[in-house]
């Protein structure tokens, strides 16, 4: 069965394909010829992931899941949250976002944070289905590691000593917030495919 993941991010696609595996053919936006900017005007992660998945499903007729992820830092009252990708502006520059975050956290010794991903699936169930993955952790004083993307170089998950960016894709996919949400999605998809 073909399922569109509403992204062209190669990292995200690789992670999702790795988890959802053989039963479903995961395709990117590019592969269904969707080249427009997807709507993300909701004040919540849930709302944005729903908006993106519905847009693709309604326009292209392909069952679709979309994710929205936010980094929520405790002492910053949950910032950057839903604005994580454009924290430092509409140019969506990860380095500038990290610079701004580290600057805002400069005087805070307490750097607890969590990554939260919400995935919404549209087109297979009578109503949209949402799946959430949360990983607690902390923000480092400086960047460490070169793999991954986004805030990965400054986030250390609880119980670990390495940032996401210091981990291999395999290590990270065992414990990342998006992987947790994708696993919940996968479990749901399995129940659907066994029902057919």
d(CA 18, CA 26): 10
User: Is 176 strand, coil or helix?
Assistant: coil
68 is catalytic: yes
Q: Where are the alpha helices (DSSP H) in 23-110?
A: 45-60, 94-104
- Among residues 68, 125, 152, 158, which one is catalytic? 68
Q: Which residues contact 126 (CB under 8 A, 6 or more apart)?
A: none
Partners of residue 80 on adjacent β-strands: 72
Q: Minimal CA–CA distance to 169: which of 151, 143, 146, 137?
A: 146
User: Is 63 strand, coil or helix?
Assistant: coil
**Cβ proximity of 48 and 68 under 8 Å:** yes
Report residue 33 as tokens: 């010829």
Helix (H) or strand (E) holding 177, with range, is helix 177-195
d(CA 85, CA 94): 7
Residues annotated as part of the active site? 68
């Amino acid at each position: 069965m073909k399922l569109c993941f509403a992204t062209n991010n190669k990292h995200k696609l690789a992670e999702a394909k790795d988890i959802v595996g053989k039963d479903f053919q995961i395709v990117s936006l590019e592969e269904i010829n969707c080249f427009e900017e997807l709507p993300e005007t909701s004040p919540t992660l849930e709302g944005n992931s729903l908006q993106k998945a519905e847009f693709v499903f309604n326009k292209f007729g392909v069952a679709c899941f979309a994710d929205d992820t936010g980094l929520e830092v405790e002492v910053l009252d949950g910032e950057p949250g839903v604005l994580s990708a454009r924290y430092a502006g509409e140019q969506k520059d990860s380095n500038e976002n990290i610079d701004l975050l580290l600057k805002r956290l400069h005087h805070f010794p307490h750097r607890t944070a969590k990554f939260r991903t919400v995935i919404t699936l549209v087109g297979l169930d009578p109503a949209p289905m949402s799946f959430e993955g949360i990983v607690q952790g902390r923000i480092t004083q400086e960047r460490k590691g070169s793999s991954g993307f986004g805030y990965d170089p400054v986030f250390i998950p609880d119980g670990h000593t390495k940032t996401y960016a210091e981990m291999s894709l395999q290590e990270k996919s065992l414990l990342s917030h998006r992987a947790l949400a994708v696993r919940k999605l996968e479990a749901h998809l399995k129940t659907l495919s066994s029902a057919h």
